[in-house]
Amino acid sequence: MTERAYRYRFYPTAEQENLLRRTLGCVRLVFNKALALQTEAWYERQERMDYVPTSATLTQWKKQEDLQFLHEVSCVPLQQGLRHLQKGFANFFDGRIRYPRFKRKHNGGSAEFTKSAFKYRSPQRDGVLDGQLYLAKCEDPLPVVWSRALPDGVDPSTVTVKLDPSGRWFVSLLVNDPTVEALPVTDGAVGIDAGLTSLVTLSSGEKISNLRHFHKHRRKLKQVQKFLSRKQKGSKNRDKARHKVARQHAKIADSRKDFLHKLSTRLVRENQTIVVEDLAVQNMVKNHKLANSIADAGWGELVRMLGYKCTWYGRTLVKIDRWFPSSKRCGHCGYIVASLPLDIREWECSHCQTVHDRDINAARNILAAGQAVTVCGANVRPVDGTSCEARHESGGQLRKTRKGRKQKPKL
């Protein structure tokens, strides 16, 4: 069975919203205090703290007179927040993510409830979606909009309540889904070249346009941001204006995610093997001339979706090295040109006189390289290149901020 999350929107009552906001606030407070404690322990004593000592410290915090309000919410989300922090530190020391950051109130927040902190009844009964979900400390069930039914006979292992910056409430139920099955095997294989004018170019010659979701809503976003900048800090009008900006950002993010879900699902259904480049998007957005367009394209999110959907449905996702010269290599004779600026979209090979479309040629080379890697384990890295693992190896030390200063604890 495959772990899968089902997300639903819900509209809490005033009493429920008050309790949930207090829960999110307590989770944020405990997380930030634990992060500050672990940061101080590392910089002063070079000591790593795991979940056990931070959990014991949480017990001591609850005994303090000024933190008695921590008893008013369920203890499970507080403990889960500490576990998430520990996981973040483990990923950081393994070099997978950057140093954990402090949570901010205006970013919304989330709280995770395990089985001991919620009660669930299936939303499917007599053909009607009318399920009930009770959270700890909450007397009435959450008014969830059951837009789709969970698979029959499954119970959630965790329930995560999330408040996004625009003020929308969501609940995610994590289940072991027995309905996820591998798709029938096909002979299809596709190489994907990411771009800006065309979001992706397939090795079949098809180009899928970049809808530029941010650009479509940029004018409206600029307008609401201008209204926000004119409001007095700390006023209610500024808070209303901030929610308008957040709603506009949510509209952009939702439209982009919907498009990427449809595109990734289509590619997984049609192809048995999908080959992509292992792009370093975080490094690419440092180019200030292209950062906005690259971030709007959502290449990293597309590859992430392809990854877990290929795992679900029995497909193969191959990532080739980012330094493979896919655009500069002639797909006909293998000749590599010395230089190929971005403004050149078509070029002619000086050896075989074949005229190439830059993006289609790159996609076909990516597919060929991926098949070589899959079949015989060939190395597509340049001979004199340095491995990307060696370039990005962190050595397990704390990173510093851009200005070279250590991160200071802030509450």
Catalytic residues: 193, 277, 359
Distances (CA, A) of 342 to 27, 91, 330: 47, 36, 16
Residue 228 CB partners (closer than 8 Å, separation 6+):
238, 241, 242, 244, 245
- Residue 119: enclosing H or E segment and its boundaries? strand 118-121
Cα distance between residue 356 and residue 361, in whole Å? 6
∠ CA 354-357-363, rounded to 5°: 105
Return the closest-CA partner of residue 202 out of 273, 297, 282, 293.
Answer: 273
Residue 374 CB partners (closer than 8 Å, separation 6+):
273, 316, 318
Which tokens is 318 given? 């191959």
Residue 142 CB partners (closer than 8 Å, separation 6+):
10, 12, 16, 133, 134, 135, 171
- Residue 323: enclosing H or E segment and its boundaries? none
If you ran DSSP here, which 8-state letter would residue 94 be given?
A: T
**Count of CA atoms in the C-beta half-sphere (13 A) of 331:** 20
Which tokens is 317 given? 């996702």
Amino acid identity at 236: K
